[in-house]
Amino acid sequence: MYNAELVFADRETGSVWSLTSGEAMDGPLAGQRLNKLAVVQTSWAKWKQLHPDTLIVSNRTPHQAHYKPFRWQPRQLSPVFERTLTHRDERLGRMELVLAVALGDERKAYPLSTLKQAGGVINDVVGGVPIVVFYDPQANTAAAYERKLGKRVLRFENADRQGQRLDAVDTATRSRWNLAGRAESGRLRGEQLAAVPAHTGAWYAWAAYFPDTKIYTPVARQRGRNK
């Protein structure tokens, strides 16, 4: 256990790997880092809506004990886990869920609670890469994508001004995009945004591995009358 997470060993070399950073911390491959993928943590209903042809793991297996249902239950870390933390960051609550994005040499955390308050669509730049973060309040799900499509850098907004649901549109063509980063209608229908290496996890682990991580903070809107 390290930084309040289980660590893993590969069978070929016995090197020990971190879950959050994807780096080998010990063994012949120490210092090597695995390529990160985009991981979307969502409900089965939302996933099935976005990807209706998805296959699922059968429960008819002698290894059934390894496929227990996942239930997120925010709580305090136990003393056993607490002792393994190498860095404690009190900028957010330890168990607060964040969308953790890593691009280039920059790390940034997007609290799901902040994404909800900000309206569900965030245009940002991380590691020099223009990105958009989509948040679906009904499924409590966040995902990040590159905003560059071909030679054009798009800008997005949530057409649902109340932020009660995700209705993402790009401001250039008013095409509508879903949580999977795919245009479902409009001039760009069928286009797919490139997914950004990101995952949803508890703040304590991300901050422990990446103490220099930034936290997304909405820019205050300037209010005034048009003259």
Q: Which residues pair with 108 in a beta bridge?
A: 101, 214
Range 137-145 average pLDDT: 96
pLDDT band with cut points at 50, 70 and 90 for residue 74: low
Tell me: pLDDT of 149 over 70: yes
Per-residue pLDDT tens digits for 79-134: 888 899 999 999 999 999 999 999 999 999 999 999 999 999 999 999 999 999 99
pLDDT score recorded for residue 188:
97
* CA distances in angstroms from 85 to 22, 78, 207, listed in the order given: 17, 11, 10
Q: Where are the domains of the chain?
A: 1-32, 44-53+82-215
Q: Is the pLDDT of residue 220 over 60?
A: no
Which pLDDT score, from 0 to 100, does residue 222 have?
35
Q: 223: which residues sit within 8 A by CB, 6+ positions away?
A: none
**Architecture of the CATH domain 44-53+82-215:** 3-layer Sandwich (2.102)
Q: How far apart are CA 15 and CA 25, in angstroms?
A: 7
The strand pairing partners of 126, in sequence order, are: 129
**Does 224 have pLDDT greater than 50?**
no
Backbone conformation region of residue 138, classed left if phi is above 0, alpha if psi is from -120 to 50, else beta: alpha
Q: Could you tell me the pTM of the whole model?
A: 0.88
Q: How many residues does the chain have?
A: 227
pLDDT score recorded for residue 109: 98
Which helix (H) or strand (E) covers residue 133, if one does? strand 129-136
> What letter would DSSP give residue 202?
E
* pLDDT, tens only, 17-57: 998 999 999 999 999 999 989 999 999 999 999 999 999 87
Q: Are 148 and 134 in contact (CB under 8 A)?
A: no
Dist CA 173 CA 154 (whole Å)? 9
